[in-house]
A and B are shown apart, each in its own frame.
Chain A
Amino acid sequence: QQQVKQSPQSLIVQKGGISIINCAYENTAFDYFPWYQQFPGKGPALLIAIRPDVSEKKEGRFTISFNKSAKQFSLHIMDSQPGDSATYFCAATHYSGGYQKVTFGTGTKLQVIP
């Protein structure tokens, strides 16, 4: 069962444009929503994260928008650069059986063209 749905699967954006990746979830027990960035040949790395008590978090060119009522959150990359080309995963975490468990989205491959 896919608990975190991510779209689009792939995305091509012009340099300087805005990249937008969307995620939706069902489980209202999720309490932390991280985004990961993965370059080819590397493992995923935590990029930015948000808790459901805020609607937006910004770190440099990266912004998470969170809509608790719609159970949706998205990553916006402003002024996208070729160096941002990577696969992005959204995720959602919750406590289960005494441990925090992470459910990942299926990933979005972003290509930023010059």
Chain B
Amino acid sequence: DVKVTQSSRYLVKRTGEKVFLECVQDMDHENMFWYRQDPGLGLRLIYFSYDVKMKEKGDIPEGYSVSREKKERFSLILESASTNQTSMYLCASSGSRASTGFFGPGTRLTVL
């Protein structure tokens, strides 16, 4: 059974804090993605990675960075969290150069 896990289901942080969101997949997929989901806006791609130590900007990368040191793990970093980054964050992975794939359960981040 394929699995994408995210380190936290709910997270509350203060403005200015550094935030790490972790994602792990057990399918040996090359490709991993970070999206944010907001009501009325659907899913928007933040960053993606097609290989270890490789990253590409998505549609809304501002205020975020990522790290992929191992094939199975893809981290999203908010260097200095702001209230407009309050959102649901979804990680996904896929085994081909397609962005459609398997999603994790999401992390609901609240920045106060």
Contact = CB atoms under 8 A, between A and B. Distances in A.
Nearest to B48: A99
A100 B105 contact: no
Nearest to B94: A100
Contact of B99 (A6, A42, A101, A106): A101
A99 B41 contact: no
A107 B90 contact: no
Given A93-B98, A99-B56, A44 B103 contact: yes
Range for the number of chain B residues in contact with chain A:
20 to 34
Main secondary structure of the interface of A (DSSP, over half): strand
B99 A100 contact: yes
A49 B102 CA distance: 14
Contacts of A104: 42-44
B99 A44 contact: no
A93 B100 CA distance: 8
Nearest to A99: B97
Given A93-B100, A101-B45, A102-B99, A43 B40 contact: no
A25 interface: no
Contacts of A98: 97
Contacts of A45: 102-103
B104 A43 contact: yes
A91 interface: yes
A102 B45 contact: yes
Contact of A106 (B41, B90, B92, B103): B41
Interface in B90-112: 90-92, 97-106
B34 interface: no
21 contacts: A34-B100, A41-B105, A43-B90, A43-B102, A43-B104, A43-B106, A44-B103, A45-B102, A45-B103, A49-B100, A89-B43, A93-B100, A98-B97, A99-B50, A100-B99, A100-B100, A102-B45, A102-B98, A102-B99, A104-B43, A104-B44
Interface of B: 4, 9, 40-45, 48, 50, 56, 90-92, 97-106
Interface of A: 4, 6, 9, 32, 34, 41-46, 49, 89, 91, 93, 98-102, 104-107
